[in-house]
Amino acid sequence: MADGPAPFAAFEWMIAWRYLRARRAEGGVSVMTWISLIGITLAVAALIATLAVRSGFRAEFVDTILGANAHATIYSAGQVNEQGTVDRTIADYADLAERLGAVPGVTGVAPLVKGQVMATNQGYNGGAEVFGISASDLAAIPGIAESERTQGDLARFDEGIAIGSALARELGVTAGDGIRLISPEGVKTAFGTSPRVKGYEVVYVFSAGRYDIDRTRIYMPFAEAQSYFNREGVADQVEVMLEDPEHVKRMTPALLQAAGPAALVWTWQDMQGGFLRALQMEDNVMFVILSILVLIATMNIVSGLIMLVKNKGRDIGILRTMGLSEGSILRIFFLCGSATGVAGTVLGVTLGCLFAIYIDPIFAAVDFIAGGGVWDPQIRGIYALPAELHLDDVLSAVGLSMGLSFLVTIFPARRAARMNPVEALRYE
């Protein structure tokens, strides 16, 4: 007995293609095919665009954190002083910095003095956090020294202070202007501690890429910060920069061993862990929601195929009497449905990738049409809506759409294959 035709033979493709091109009398089938195609295209495009924005937002968020903050911070556990309070300052900060700098994987170490101040200028006020740091250590912070939106000269840092662009805008100052800093940790007198008020020249205005940093941060020369905050001869903490900050947890034991038994380590993941976990949970929820949208779009294929099978009942009966097997009929209608899914997926991938690539002009146009203010950095934290295309994200969207398209196509195709040719031709 001769073997039958191979699966997905040329005639099966030809018949499927003819069925997809519905005549005017079968316009309903054509309309359903177009609805299915457009639905899958938009759903896949939305999924890829969302995954790209998600990846870009996380990358931008982490980059701005790592670009302007320490990857790990070493604190002192503290000891009780003569006044009965806990003193957490670090007296041997130079030796501590040397020991930490010798740890493999550490790229930079910077002793720091920190304090809270009120910055004022001609009636404008703003709370700020002062970071006392040496000029060489500040020049090694990429988010500050390599900022694209800067004013002034960082080489003059020892002559004044550096402030964030949002704080400078709030105070109405630019590079070369002067501001006053007011600290409650001021001059100690017989009547107590009086606030310290001192004027400084703004020699450098930076933009770290995050609004909360640009709005609150001031950098001051280390020696001046020691004097201003009554920290003569000590530091508040030691900041550590790592070669691989994403795996900072692996470095924690080595840092603790180098810092000594009285040290504590606080990493950037500890500081932002809650937000990163919230981002991850939001990513998972969004993927599930958009996957449901893809499923709904692919369900239109079922409607179109059911209509096609009903309209082609006579043709199915004739094909079966001509010798076509149930498998051939199933594959013909499977090709009809899956072709719509494949075409919609391809168009959706193209549209989603174009959206991610040209997100800046698209967002600028949306912002212009809306009259501005669509993206508020005070709420979002970063200054722009980023997008990053990753191959695994695109492949996951393609796999989901194709898999669902193939899956939902099987059921109406099986119905067509199992149609009784006698019943299909009874009234013909």
Binning pLDDT at 50, 70 and 90, where does residue 25 land? very low
Higher per-residue pLDDT: 417 or 295: 295
Is position 5 within any domain? Answer: no
Whether 236 and 331 map to the same domain: the answer is no
Whether 139 and 166 map to the same domain: the answer is yes
Binning pLDDT at 50, 70 and 90, where does residue 291 land? confident
Is position 153 within any domain? Answer: yes
Binning pLDDT at 50, 70 and 90, where does residue 70 land? confident
- Structural domain count, the chain: 2
The number of beta carbons lying within 10 Å of the beta carbon of residue 200 is 19
Higher per-residue pLDDT: 210 or 129: 129
Given 216, 234, 261, the domain boundary residue is 261
- 376: pLDDT strictly greater than 90: no
User: Mean of the pLDDT values across residues 169-177?
Assistant: 91
* Alpha carbons 419 and 342: distance in angstroms, whole number: 26
Q: What are phi and psi of 287, to 5 degrees?
A: -65, -40
| Rg of the Cα atoms in the chain | 33
Which of 13-17, 298-302, 321-325, 337-341 is least confident? 321-325
Q: Would you state the pLDDT for residue 128?
A: 92
Per-residue pLDDT reduced to its tens digit, 377-407 = 655 566 667 788 889 889 998 999 888 888 8
Whether 106 and 52 map to the same domain: the answer is no
* CA distances (Å), origin 367, targets 48, 53, 355, 385: 22, 17, 15, 11
Whether 50 and 82 map to the same domain: the answer is no
Whether 52 and 112 map to the same domain: the answer is no
Query: What is residue 171's three-state secondary structure?
Result: helix
Whether 114 and 230 have beta carbons less than 8 Å apart is answered as: no
Is position 2 within any domain? Answer: no
Is position 159 within any domain? Answer: yes
- 318: pLDDT strictly greater than 50: yes
User: Mean of the pLDDT values across residues 15-37?
Assistant: 66
Higher per-residue pLDDT: 20 or 406: 406
Is position 71 within any domain? Answer: no
Tell me what the pLDDT averaged over the chain comes to.
82
Given 215, 237, 261, the domain boundary residue is 261
Whether 384 and 249 map to the same domain: the answer is no
Domain of 227? Answer: 78-261
Whether 51 and 396 have beta carbons less than 8 Å apart is answered as: yes
* Alpha carbons 385 and 241: distance in angstroms, whole number: 27
Higher per-residue pLDDT: 297 or 82: 297
Is position 412 within any domain? Answer: yes
User: Mean of the pLDDT values across residues 182-207?
Assistant: 81
Whether 100 and 190 map to the same domain: the answer is yes
Q: Would you state the pLDDT for residue 235?
A: 92
Q: Would you state the pLDDT for residue 111?
A: 93
User: Mean of the pLDDT values across residues 321-342?
Assistant: 77
Residues in CB range of 396: below 8 A, 6 or more apart: 51
Q: Would you state the pLDDT for residue 1?
A: 39
- 176: pLDDT strictly greater than 80: yes
User: Mean of the pLDDT values across residues 213-233?
Assistant: 90
Whether 58 and 82 map to the same domain: the answer is no
Q: Would you state the pLDDT for residue 383?
A: 65
User: Mean of the pLDDT values across residues 43-55?
Assistant: 89
Per-residue pLDDT reduced to its tens digit, 246-279 = 888 899 999 999 988 888 898 888 887 777 788 7
Given 261, 289, 319, the domain boundary residue is 261
* Core vs surface per residue 366-404: b (16+ CB within 10 A) or e: eeeeeeeeeeebeeebbbebbbbbeeebbebbbebbbeb
User: Mean of the pLDDT values across residues 240-250?
Assistant: 88
Whether 86 and 229 map to the same domain: the answer is yes
Whether 292 and 414 map to the same domain: the answer is yes
DSSP 44-62: HHHHHHHHHHHHHHHHHHH
* Alpha carbons 1 and 95: distance in angstroms, whole number: 90
Q: Give me the half-sphere count of Cα atoms (radius 13 Å) on the Cβ side of residue 68.
A: 25
Binning pLDDT at 50, 70 and 90, where does residue 129 land? very high
Whether 229 and 175 map to the same domain: the answer is yes
- 412: pLDDT strictly greater than 90: no
* Alpha carbons 395 and 402: distance in angstroms, whole number: 10
For CA atoms 103, 256, 267, 96, give the dihedral sign. Answer: negative
Q: What are phi and psi of 233, to 5 degrees?
A: 80, 5
Which of 125-129, 209-213, 327-331, 406-410 is least confident? 327-331
* CA distances (Å), origin 339, targets 336, 396, 405: 5, 19, 9
Is position 121 within any domain? Answer: yes
Whether 143 and 231 map to the same domain: the answer is yes
Q: Would you state the pLDDT for residue 240?
A: 92
Q: Would you state the pLDDT for residue 84?
A: 59
